[in-house]
Structure 1
Amino acid sequence: MPGSKLLVALVLLATPWLATALPRPDPVPGGVAVLTLPAGFDAAAQASFAGKPVLTVPVDDGWRALVGIPLGQTPGPAALRLRFADGRTRNIGFTVAAREYPVQRLTITDQDKVTPSAASLKRIEREQVEILAAFRHRSTPAPQLRFAMPAQGPLSSNFGLRRVINGQPRSPHSGIDIAAPAGAPVTAPAPGRVLRVGDYFFTGNTVFVDHGQGLVTLYCHLSSVAVREGQQLVTGDAIGKVGSTGRATGPHLHWALSLNDARVDPRLFLVTETQAAR
């Protein structure tokens, strides 16, 4: 409809982070710092944070670094390390602001999913090697930075929640949960390549998608998987269907996004602020 196209155009013009296709800046633990790089930085230069390569993108007035900030990062001064093609190095300072995430209390009836047995712990240890390797994967293609929602439904758990399961503190929630019904479609939110498909103890049927340069997304608890490793995806392609495999209290999609091996709030990459606020 012409009116809706005009509305989208006006939103893009009024919202700089959308018009330049960059994620919404939120320099907190679990967020993204968008840093302006100095003159002289180009495609041959490199940026790193905490020893890990950082995604850099050209924009109209130079280059930006997109720094994923780990949930465990201590608030306060931080630094991006730059290395230029001629060997020069430079630090770009920025501040990580504090963010207090709420507590979420859950009850899981399968006790092995809360306090795993010795056999389950061995399985978890094996799987962690694969999972961490996927998150740390880095390919050369430049990623698209405007994402759509991979499933339709309200959010049942926000990013960063400090989880207490059956009265026991556990790791923070490193993604968002979308409360879609069992069997609902899960689709690619942006172009990418299927990096890994697996059935894991905690996340059940799981798909990792590589979007390029250290930007990796994760889709968990699927009832079925519709992709194979190495498959190229475009926005809207089927990934699988919503389920409750692994450690889950009911059908939902757990969607996570990793940037330079830091799990960050995927809503920062959504196309519209309306989606990001859901």
Structure 2
Amino acid sequence: MNMPKNGLKREPRLACALTLVLALLLPLGLAHAAAPVQEKVQLTAPETVARGDAFVAEVVSAEPMEGATFFWRGKRHAVAAREVRDVAGAAPVWRAELMLPAPLGEKAQSLSLGACAGKECKQPEATRKVGLYDRKRPVQRLTVDKKYVAPPPEEAARIRRDREKVAAALAQRLPERQWELPLDRPVPGTVSSLFGLKRVFNGEPRGMHRGLDLRGAQGSPIRACADGVVALVDDLYFSGNAVYINHGDGVFTSYLHMSKPLVKPGEHVKRGQVIGLVGATGRVTGPHLHLGLVVQGESVDPQPLLAPAEQVKPAPAAGGEKK
């Protein structure tokens, strides 16, 4: 049989060439198809958060940005960004941080957190899942004056006005954030009642404890947890003499049951400044400070964000009141 000269060699060479081309092109095509979408900004947040706690989310961009917008629990929160250099001589980056709540009543097992560069953006450029878990919340039984368990009818209007005053104070906004973590401890005393306790007053179940009770002697100084502006000073039916401070970006602290407030609404206060004296006004069993932390309209546990107790130096009583 006659065959073309070198015919047996050409076909294998051609096959080898085609195989080589496919071997080079196919992985490139697969790699291109599987490549993840590049996020325009870097978004960081804890993987899990306890219900009742707050956490800080952060957006970092290598490109200049005026601010960032965070998307959490169906709401948008726009905050300013700041230019920082993590290492001397390094290129600057732009960073925006926001404190966010994981409320006690949230039923979901995880929530989506989104963010984008800019204060006016409408859609997230980066997303993360934040898992939620429960802490054990024990029951606390207390005996108080019966008027604080079943308030007299004539006090109903006052209680309603108190709630309206607090709501109006918490609706105030500051143009920029003034808090830094950890927050200063307002008194050196240890914890007497945890946040989230299930309260029973005079044998009757009531709502959860929405603050942190810290031990303190009558008349001892109470200090601001961070810089801010005083949003409310008033004598409230349940809270007694109370001071609320706005720290910006939706973060407020409240200081309840004071014997005497020492600041006025609208006053700018500095971290560590004495703002009042420990007392036993309102619904209490004795002198102490009820510290509240409200983040984006939700009461959360202040304790994880406070400086350790050993870092606080006890201060002398102010105002000449006896301990």
Q: TM-score range by the shorter chain?
A: 0.7 to 0.9
Q: Matches of 1:35 and 1:142 in 2, distance apart? A: 14
Using the TM superposition, give the Cα deviation of residue 194 of structure 1 relative to its aligned residue in structure 2, in angstroms: 0.9
Query: Radius of gyration: which is bigger?
Result: 2
Using the TM superposition, give the Cα deviation of residue 74 of structure 1 relative to its aligned residue in structure 2, in angstroms: 1.7
Aligned CA distance change for structure 1 residues 26 and 208 (closer, same or farther; 3 Å): farther
Amino acid at match of 1:45: A
Report the 3-state secondary structure (helix = DSSP H, G, I; strand = E; otherwise coil) of the residue aligned with 2:242: strand
Moved more, 126-135 or 43-52: 43-52
Write out per-residue CA displacement over residues 173-193 of structure 1, whole angstroms, 9 at most, x where no aligned residue.
111111111111111122111
Aligned CA distance change for structure 1 residues 198 and 52 (closer, same or farther; 3 Å): farther
Write out per-residue CA displacement over residues 76-114 of structure 1, whole angstroms, 9 at most, x where no aligned residue.
121235455474402543221222311111111x21100
Q: Matches of 2:113 and 2:48 in 1, distance apart? A: 16
Q: Matches of 1:273 and 1:248 in 2, distance apart? A: 23
Partner of 1:129: 164
Asked whether the 8 Å contact 2:68–2:78 carries over to 1, the reply is: no
Report the 3-state secondary structure (helix = DSSP H, G, I; strand = E; otherwise coil) of the residue aligned with 2:207: coil
Asked whether the 8 Å contact 1:33–1:68 carries over to 2, the reply is: yes
Partner of 2:14: none
Moved more, 140-149 or 264-273: 264-273
Quick one: higher RCO (CA 8 Å, sep 6+), 1 or 2?
1
Amino acid at match of 1:195: A
Using the TM superposition, give the Cα deviation of residue 121 of structure 1 relative to its aligned residue in structure 2, in angstroms: 2.1
Using the TM superposition, give the Cα deviation of residue 239 of structure 1 relative to its aligned residue in structure 2, in angstroms: 0.7
Partner of 2:69: 46
Q: Matches of 2:105 and 2:70 in 1, distance apart? A: 21
Asked whether the 8 Å contact 2:54–2:101 carries over to 1, the reply is: yes
- Is there any run of 5+ residues in structure 1 with no aligned partner, and where? 1-22
Q: Matches of 1:254 and 1:206 in 2, distance apart? A: 9
Write out per-residue CA displacement over residues 145-173 of structure 1, whole angstroms, 9 at most, x where no aligned residue.
23211112121111111111112221211
Asked whether the 8 Å contact 1:191–1:211 carries over to 2, the reply is: yes
- Is there any run of 5+ residues in structure 2 with no aligned partner, and where? 1-44, 87-92, 313-323
Q: Matches of 2:252 and 2:54 in 1, distance apart? A: 14
Aligned CA distance change for structure 1 residues 84 and 170 (closer, same or farther; 3 Å): same
Report the 3-state secondary structure (helix = DSSP H, G, I; strand = E; otherwise coil) of the residue aligned with 2:188: coil
Aligned CA distance change for structure 1 residues 41 and 93 (closer, same or farther; 3 Å): farther
The number of residues matched between the two structures is 254
Partner of 1:78: 111
The match for 2:123 among 89, 104, 110 is 89
Partner of 1:270: 306
Write the mapping of 1:1-278 to structure 2, written as runs, cut at 5 A. Answer: 27-37=49-59, 42-54=65-77, 60=86, 62-82=95-115, 84-85=117-118, 87-90=121-124, 92-108=128-144, 110-146=145-181, 147-272=183-308
Amino acid at match of 1:101: R
Amino acid at match of 1:78: L
Aligned CA distance change for structure 1 residues 261 and 89 (closer, same or farther; 3 Å): same
Amino acid at match of 1:89: Q
Report the 3-state secondary structure (helix = DSSP H, G, I; strand = E; otherwise coil) of the residue aligned with 2:208: coil
Write out per-residue CA displacement over residues 35-79 of structure 1, whole angstroms, 9 at most, x where no aligned residue.
354757944332243344548666757544431122222241212
Report the 3-state secondary structure (helix = DSSP H, G, I; strand = E; otherwise coil) of the residue aligned with 2:226: coil
Using the TM superposition, give the Cα deviation of residue 237 of structure 1 relative to its aligned residue in structure 2, in angstroms: 1.4
Q: TM-score normalised to the size of structure 1?
A: 0.80
